Structure 1
Amino acid sequence: MNPLKAPRARSFGHDVFASVVVFLVALPLSMGIAIASGVPIEKAAAVGLATAIIGGLVVGPLSGSPLQVSGPAAGLTVMVAAFIQKYGFETLGIIVAIGGLIQVLAGVCRLGPVFRAVSPALIQGMLAGIGVLIFASQFHVMVDDVPPGTGKEFGGVINLWLLPGAIVKGVAEPEHRPAALIGLLAVSIVASWAVLAPKALRLVPAALLGVVAATLAAWAFDLDVRRVPVPERLLDAARPPSLADLDALRDVGVWLAGLSLAFVASAESLLTATAADSLQRHAERTAYSRELVAQGIGNILCGVMNVLPLTGVIVRTSANVMAGARTRLSAFLHGAWILLFVLLLPQLLTMIPIAALAAILVYTGAKLVKLDFAKDLWRQDRIEALVFGVTFAGVVGFDLLTGILLGLVVSLARLIYTFSHLAVTVEKNEASGAAHVFLDGAATFIRLPRFAAALERIPAGYDAHIHLRGLTYIDHACLTMLMDWGENHEAAGGRVHLDRDILHRLFEQKAWRSANAT
């Protein structure tokens, strides 16, 4: 037996098994995300599943992250819903295609690693805000009601504020009670499965179990609940934008929407790819620029078909890794299974209660709010906690783009402060004729006058001890000034003591930064 074929055969078996697990995870989530994104209800199932198919069949083989799985993502629901509300569903494909084109250009220009240079606090604040908005809107859907904030200014806050009313409807009103019971059944199964499931069965997707149980309960008791509408030919709901739709390209807002989509989708995809690298030891590490190109190609195709945008999705990716995937084949096959299901068994989808899919997203939204992360951040770095809080508040109170921009402003202000803040303390001892200068922060040309003034306060003839331990950075201007002052001070009869090791380390860091910036 050829020894080279055995590992391939074993990888194939692992990949096939993992692809089935991911297929079962992706099926309910793709439809639920489409409904939550504001896609017209009669097209939601087709649009969500078409994006998942593209994520598997197209992005899977091209991906720079071998085990990452792409498809419609909960993290984009709020943004997509805002686009549909403002520009109409017919324009969504144009926005998605613009975002994909920007991603391809960014990947070709090797900007993949740049998208990773986003504060984790900002990303987690964004996801937490999205999670609250998904929870608030889908809770109303879970009782077969329309979210009251739909189409209104501050709609997310309205949905959140009126949650008690949804609870009352689900408990007290007969027309809403069956859906509420179905939703409660689904979310209970999903929430308890990870804890109560036998170890051998934990790879069975909780979301699928919740939806199947809710569907069977609705059928067995003949409950009057809204179900997923499905067209006769499922993929006919995905169509290219018409020539009339292309007039939207004249709107600057559409281009800005595509740019914001590219930024958020890229950041989410590359962060997911980084998480995938930390979870697996079998495949090569992520090629970030290649991953950007793959995501961009996928989104261009999604735009042409006028379906949801795609990103790398952490739920599906982690399921893929945990199920034992070894190569890109698993992501490709999961898309193939979805396509076969759509072609052969589409009418099964008409049995699924919408409340069950909403319940899955209620749970997903709650899981996006990582309170432990926020608590740890508050203990470790108050400024980063502020970035988290401002981003979260902006996303919930205004919209996704505003929240991201506010978070970036706080992050930028923190960066400017870090690279411009320099505390200089001078302690003189006249009895011993010694002076100690303590530096804390970044010595840049912006603070050179303060640095120079502090050194000039040291009398001639003193022993000057320059303490660099608290210094994080020193630029050429400040170093030149320090060296010139030191020569003049020693020429006047004094002595200068510098920690050369620390100075050498600072310049090694500076050289490393320069090398990695090119």
Structure 2
Amino acid sequence: MSLKEGFFSNIKYDLPASIIVFLVAVPLCLGIALASEVPMFAGIIAGIVGGIVVGFFSGSSLGVSGPAAGLVAIVISAQNTLGSFEALLAATVLAGIMQITLGFMKAGIIGYYFPNSVIKGMLTAIGIIIVLKQIPHAVGYDADYEGDLSFWQTDGHNTFSELYYMLDFLSPGAILITLISLAILIIWEQPFMKKNKVFTLIQGPLVAVVVGIILNYVFKGNNTWGLSSDQLVSLPTPGSFNEFLGNFRTPDFGIFTDKPSAILLAGVTIAVVASIETLLSVEATDKLDPQKRVTPTNRELRAQGIGNVVSGMIGGLPITQVIVRSSANIQSGGKTKASAIIHGMMLLVSVLLFPEVLNQIPFASLAAVLFLVGYKLAKPTLFKQMWKNGFTQFVPFIVTVVAIVATDLLIGIGIGLAVAIFIILFYNLKNPFYFNDDDHVESEKVTIELSEEVSFLNKAAILRALNVVPDNSSIIVDATKTKVMDFDVQEILNDFRTTAGHKNIKYKVIGWPKEKPLKNSERHFVKTMDDAIKNNNEKVSKEEEESKN
């Protein structure tokens, strides 16, 4: 299906998707603000700016931006070091300016250097984490903040220990809401439901959330089935428009004078981490995009930078593109960036007009929605596919999955990337030819055919290959196709000439060294000399002919 141009061209897909993203984003914004030890409204502001501002400037069709769990520890540390929330806002503005600069410096190309196996591992790991983290919310235990993706938590618990502690806090009402919501979502995924146009317009997650609100209302007042306030969404509820405006803060730029080194370090840290998370999310989102569109990464860095400048100026948390929200957008049928922008508008309107309604949404309903998102990211068929793709794909994939689940996003990606690079180096170090000395016939020649580019990475393999050549044999190193040869390799080949003499090995290198191409000035000189010689020969021949006559 080809997508039409225009903001409203795909509204029948983007509007339902934006509602789901909005419902997922509300508790994430609040949870990340709570975990970051900043005012709750700062998370909502970041969500609004991430949707509207970043959505407008971004070139990503399906990416959704907002406050990110990966920045929680950095935000806490920066605020403690700088001394105030307003100083943190100044660091966010500085980080935004740096990101804009990185975009113009074309630093977005970094995102293209992450291997496919690592990106798929990241998506799978996030899917598993979403499921594991939502199980406690699904049964009514909400000690862990919504949106946490790291293994260890501030209270000393971890992802798996929470599954044990939750058993002491089971809530029958929350469990029933989760089961009914899951049943609705599963039914909505069935082929017979998708054939009906009504059910394609009204998304299953929206129905699940509405049913959850109704059940929460029915259970009110019941000691066994009723939900407590910490099991529900908790948006700030300003009593008036002036009170709403009072939630916005402005940055303290005086910190640049008071603590110049501290503010610079905080700005750089936020800019670097936010940019890396964004580029990872961009790469992952493009992989999930059914249309396989490619996001311009430099433009995305600039968009994120503009978003962070605006968010910092009005009291919001730092922003990145977020894979959880982006995945929810894709899996809810979003087609263009209109869904991201509309979700930001919904956040703004909801805080202004009907926060009380949203505060009736049970976390259990949202847990069911996120279960589906997590499952689609970590389907068992993906593991089978990666296994079929071979050792070089499966190992970095599975290592990335385990590392992210056991640590956090950036550390896990780093470990997965290191393993992928190690495997690449390992295969680069393998012998460039096949030689079995047991099968070797003394009169036969051994040939090593070098590739077009021979770098220092091949040094150990070539040295090992030369060392296994038996005495009294012949060897040819064929470098006719080689265009670039590292000096280290040339030195090995030259040194082996001495070794070959002591072992009675007939040794020859063909095709190297290459004749250096002449420079333009040299070509002109040679042509001039050739012309002069030619003219002189013609003159001599003519004079000889005339003398004969």
In the superposition, the TM-score normalised over structure 1's length comes to: 0.72
What secondary structure does 1:145 align onto?
coil
Residue aligning to 1:250: 262
1:50, CA displacement in angstroms?
3.2
Query: Is residue 37 of structure 2 the alignment partner of residue 24 of structure 1?
Result: no
**Structure 1 120/153 Cα, relative in aligned 2: closer, same or farther at 3 Å?**
closer
2:219 is the counterpart of 1:218: no
- 2:422 & 2:456 partners in 1: Cα distance? 18
1:144 aligns to 2:166 (yes or no): no
- Structure 1 pair 164–452 and aligned structure 2 pair: CA distance change class (3 A): closer
Counterpart residue identity of residue 396, structure 2:
V
- RMSD of aligned C-alpha atoms? 4.9
- Counterpart of 1:266 in structure 2 is 279
Query: Residues 121 and 400 of structure 2 are in contact (CA less than 8 Å); yes or no, is this contact kept in structure 1?
Result: yes
Contact 2:92–2:318, Cα closer than 8 Å, also in 1: yes
Which one is further off, 231-240 or 215-224? 231-240
Query: Which residue of 97, 104, 108 corresponds with 1:108?
Result: 104
Return the alpha-carbon distance in structure 1 between the equivalents of residues 57 and 151 of structure 2.
40
Q: Decide which of 206, 209, 216 is 2:207's aligned counterpart.
A: 209
Aligned twin of 1:231: 236
User: Structure 1 pair 134/243, CA: closer, same or farther in 2 (3 Å)?
Assistant: farther
1:71-470 pair list within 5 angstroms: 71-72=65-66, 76-77=68-69, 79-83=70-74, 90=85, 93=89, 96-97=92-93, 99-147=95-143, 154-155=152-153, 158-167=158-167, 169-170=169-170, 176-195=171-190, 197-199=193-195, 200=197, 201-222=199-220, 223-226=226-229, 227-233=232-238, 236-242=246-252, 250=262, 252=265, 255-256=268-269, 258-273=271-286, 275-276=288-289, 279=291, 286-304=295-313, 305-307=315-317, 309-311=319-321, 313-315=325-327, 317-318=329-330, 322=333, 325=336, 331-426=340-435, 433-437=444-448, 443-445=454-456, 447-448=458-459, 451=462, 464=476, 466=478
Work out whether residues 65 and 321 of structure 2, in 8 Å CA contact, stay in contact via their aligned partners in 1: yes
Following TM superposition, by how much is the alpha carbon of 1:189 offset from its aligned partner in structure 2, in angstroms? 2.6
Partner of 1:435, secondary structure, is strand
- Consecutive unaligned residues in structure 1, runs of 5 or more: 1-6, 171-175, 504-518
Q: Establish whether residue 64 from structure 1 lines up as the match of residue 59 from structure 2.
A: yes
Q: Structure 2 unaligned runs (5+)?
A: 221-225, 239-243, 501-505, 515-549
CA distance in 2, matches of 1:88, 1:291: 26
For the 8 Å contact 2:479–2:511, the answer to whether it is kept is yes
Question: Percent same amino acid at aligned positions?
Answer: 21
Q: Which amino acid aligns with 2:211?
A: A
Letter in 2 for 1:61: F
1:39 aligns with 2:48: no
Structure 2 counterpart of 1:309, one-letter code = I
How far apart are the structure 2 equivalents of 1:280 and 1:149?
A: 33
- Displacement after TM superposition at 1:95 (Å): 6.3
- Choose 147-156 or 177-186, whichever is displaced more: 147-156
Alpha carbons of 1:296 and 1:190: their partners in 2 closer, same or farther (altered >3 Å)? farther
> What SS does the corresponding residue of 2:113 show, helix, strand or coil?
coil
Q: What residue identity is the alignment partner of 2:172? A: R
Q: 2 CA distance for matches of 1:451 and 1:280?
A: 41
How many angstroms does 1:405 deviate by?
2.9
- Displacement of 1:230: 3.0
- SS in structure 2 of the partner of residue 163 of structure 1: helix
Q: How many residues are matched?
A: 475
Task: Report if the CA contact (8 A) 2:403-2:413 is conserved.
Answer: yes
Output the CA distance in 2 between the equivalents of 1:248 and 1:393. Answer: 39
Letter in 2 for 1:310: T
Task: Give the structure with higher Rg (CA).
Answer: 2
Aligned to 1:50: 45
2:446 is paired with a residue whose SS is strand
| Deviations 1:169-208 (CA, angstroms, capped at 9, x unpaired) | 42xxxxx222222233333333442226333223433332
Measure the CA separation in 1 of the matches of 2:471 and 2:389: 40
